[in-house]
């Protein structure tokens, strides 16, 4: 199952087209039930000294320093400070960043990290089921990666535990989407409508939330008559993707048009950074107008400290939490309308008045026409969107009363139009060898990560 999902996930044409499989989810349940019934699964309480206290468990594949996944789990923990929190990692897909996680939770006496021992998938499954049976948490949140068959097979109804499937692996085929014994939680409007209307799932909407790090209207260089400062926060897995518009090629053109500077936050491959910088040289643009920050502890604060005028949402894959950080910081956002996918566009996450572009010429014209007055208006719109939709109190209230009145779901953006004919024409022009090379590179990188510390 793991390998099959891996093949689908690494096929670019399946992205945001294939979301779920009832047959695979049934097979996961079958494996999990048979393992629990026939194998000697030893129940182990990983936290006996805290027995009797309310306890919540999180099943994850791996947690890393960067990306929204780790932050999402942290938000769930911070929203329930009165409970103990047990994080159980399968290690499928590679090891977690244990040093970073240990530092993150060093001062949290109510958090315990447990990592599956090295071994085969069935050994990890038995370990996970033993931990769940021994811990007896009041609720289990399933945060598995797309292909993590161990995590999905572990949480079977026979364990007698209440649980939720948190659908964060939302733009690829993901195991667990059709687990009927778990509450299905979608974290953004696009995913909610997709799962309910297209996949027929009885789901719940719980908006992404983020800690409020403060808002002070910025007096940027542009507001004082200088040049525009833009920013994007995304790693290579969001932007180094075959697409009809290349982020790496567009940023130098954008700097040439605005005369300003662009800040990229998030690790890119060396090839990507070289490609952008070589184009800056071709256009005669100073290298310091592209600021490259591999990692920051707070995108929110980085945008404010760098006095960013406008946040350019990543493409072709959008990033939800960083967009929310930008709006919380009061930074106007600019959205990309993906050629065929609402989920990858993320338009419904932004305030309705945010500018949306599909062709590079539209973006460049918009940037050149921006005024300080419009940006000042959008600063307030961005902050209001954060306050109404994404404050941490929303998550805390939901976790205290999950059966309360459902949260209102923002409507789908009326101005999204899938251009499937254009997408088909573009895909036809792609050389099959380049697609094979992309998949080969992706799979090779994953095999290397596993060899360095993943499955034994």
What tens digit of pLDDT does each residue of 1-15 get?
999 999 999 887 888
- Best CA proximity match to 261, nearest among 221, 219, 302: 221
Indicate whether 41 pLDDT > 80. no
Give the model's pLDDT for residue 13. Answer: 80
Q: What confidence category does residue 25 fall into, taking pLDDT thresholds of 50, 70 and 90? A: very high
Give the model's pLDDT for residue 366. Answer: 98
Q: Which residues contact 311 (CB under 8 A, 6 or more apart)?
A: 230, 231, 232, 233, 303, 323, 326, 331, 332, 333, 334
What gap in Å lies between CA 198 and CA 116, rounded to an integer?
Answer: 35
Residues across the chain: 456
What gap in Å lies between CA 13 and CA 171, rounded to an integer?
Answer: 12
Give the model's pLDDT for residue 456. Answer: 36
Give the model's pLDDT for residue 430. Answer: 67
**Percent above pLDDT 70 for the chain:** 95
Q: What confidence category does residue 436 fall into, taking pLDDT thresholds of 50, 70 and 90? A: low
Name which of 43-52, 99-108, 196-205, 338-347 the model is least confident about: 99-108
Q: What backbone torsions phi and psi does residue 100 show, to the nearest 5 degrees?
A: -65, -45
Give the model's pLDDT for residue 59. Answer: 97
Q: What confidence category does residue 404 fall into, taking pLDDT thresholds of 50, 70 and 90? A: confident
Paired residues of 231 in beta bridges? 263, 311
Residue 159 tokens read as 């364990």
Give the model's pLDDT for residue 44. Answer: 83
Residues of the chain with CATH 3.40.50.2000: 229-390
Find out whether 118 and 143 touch, Cβ atoms under 8 Å. Answer: no
Give the model's pLDDT for residue 208. Answer: 93
- Best CA proximity match to 325, nearest among 214, 434, 418: 214
Q: Which residues contact 254 (CB under 8 A, 6 or more apart)?
A: 230, 262, 363, 364, 367
Find out whether 198 and 174 touch, Cβ atoms under 8 Å. Answer: no
Q: How many CB atoms lie within 10 A of CB 372?
A: 14
Concatenate the DSSP letters of all residues of 96-158 into one string. Answer: --HHHHHHHTTT-TTEEEEEPPSS-HHHHHHHHHHHHHHH--SEEEEE--TT-HHHHHH--GG
How confident is the prediction for the chain on average, in pLDDT?
Answer: 91
Fold held by 229-390: Rossmann fold (3.40.50)
DSSP state of 241: S
3-state secondary structure of 328: helix
Give the model's pLDDT for residue 212. Answer: 95
- Residues 180-238: tens digit of each pLDDT: 999 999 999 999 999 999 999 999 999 999 999 999 887 889 988 999 999 999 999 89
Span 364-391, mean pLDDT?
96
Indicate whether 411 pLDDT > 80. yes
Find out whether 144 and 60 touch, Cβ atoms under 8 Å. Answer: yes
The separation between CA 185 and the C-alpha centre of its own chain, rounded to angstroms, equals 14
What gap in Å lies between CA 418 and CA 208, rounded to an integer?
Answer: 25
Indicate whether 150 pLDDT > 80. yes
Q: Which residues contact 226 (CB under 8 A, 6 or more apart)?
A: 220
Q: What confidence category does residue 71 fall into, taking pLDDT thresholds of 50, 70 and 90? A: confident
Name which of 49-53, 259-263, 366-370 the model is least confident about: 49-53
Write the CA distances from 55 to 85, 92, 353, 427, 444, integer angstroms: 6, 24, 42, 49, 39
Write the CA distances from 306 to 3, 264, 376, integer angstroms: 43, 11, 17
Fold held by 2-209: Rossmann fold (3.40.50)
Indicate whether 455 pLDDT > 50. no
Indicate whether 380 pLDDT > 60. yes
**Percent above pLDDT 90 for the chain:** 72
- Best CA proximity match to 85, nearest among 53, 116, 63, 129: 53
Give the model's pLDDT for residue 106. Answer: 73
């Amino acid at each position: 199952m793991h390998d099959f999902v891996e093949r689908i996930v690494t096929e670019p044409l399946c992205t945001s087209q294939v979301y779920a499989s009832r047959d695979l989810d049934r097979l996961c349940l079958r494996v999990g039930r048979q393992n629990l019934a026939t194998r000697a699964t030893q129940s182990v309480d990983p936290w006996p000294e805290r027995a009797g206290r309310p306890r919540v468990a999180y099943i994850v594949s791996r947690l890393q320093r960067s990306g929204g996944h780790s932050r999402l789990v942290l938000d769930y923990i911070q929203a329930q400070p009165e409970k103990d929190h047990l994080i159980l990692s399968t290690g499928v897909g590679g090891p977690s960043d244990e040093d970073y996680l240990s530092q993150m939770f060093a001062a949290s006496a109510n958090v315990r990290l447990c990592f599956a021992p090295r071994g085969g998938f069935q050994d990890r499954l038995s370990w996970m089921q033993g931990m769940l049976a021994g811990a007896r948490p009041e609720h289990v949140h399933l945060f598995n990666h797309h292909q993590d068959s161990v995590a999905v097979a572990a949480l079977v109804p026979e364990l007698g535990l209440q649980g939720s499937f948190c659908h964060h692996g939302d733009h690829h085929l993901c195991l667990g989407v059709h687990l009927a014994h778990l509450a299905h939680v979608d974290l953004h409007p696009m995913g909610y409508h997709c799962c309910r209307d297209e996949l027929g799932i009885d789901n719940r909407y719980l908006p992404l939330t983020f800690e409020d790090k403060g808002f002070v209207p910025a007096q940027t260089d542009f507001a004082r008559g200088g040049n525009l400062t833009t920013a994007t926060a995304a790693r290579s897995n969001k932007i180094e993707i075959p697409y009809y518009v290349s982020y790496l090629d567009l940023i130098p053109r954008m700097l040439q048009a605005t005369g300003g500077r662009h800040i990229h936050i998030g690790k890119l491959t060396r090839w990507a950074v070289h490609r952008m910088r070589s184009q800056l040289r071709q256009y005669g643009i100073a290298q310091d107008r592209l600021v490259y920050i591999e990692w920051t502890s707070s995108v929110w604060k980085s945008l404010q400290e760098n006095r960013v005028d406008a946040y350019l949402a990543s493409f072709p894959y959008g990033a939800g939490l960083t967009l929310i950080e930008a709006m919380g910081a009061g930074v106007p956002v600019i959205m990309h309308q993906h050629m065929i996918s609402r989920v990858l566009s993320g338009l419904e996450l932004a305030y309705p008045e945010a500018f949306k572009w599909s062709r590079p010429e539209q973006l460049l014209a918009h940037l050149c026409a921006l005024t300080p007055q419009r940006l000042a208006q959008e600063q307030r719109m961005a902050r209001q969107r954060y306050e109404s939709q994404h404050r941490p109190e929303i998550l805390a209230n939901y976790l205290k009363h999950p059966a309360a009145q459902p949260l209102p779901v923002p409507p789908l953006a009326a101005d999204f139009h899938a251009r499937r004919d254009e997408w088909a024409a573009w895909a036809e022009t792609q050389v099959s060898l380049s697609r094979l090379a992309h998949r080969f590179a992706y799979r090779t990188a994953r095999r290397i990560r596993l060899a360095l510390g993943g499955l034994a």
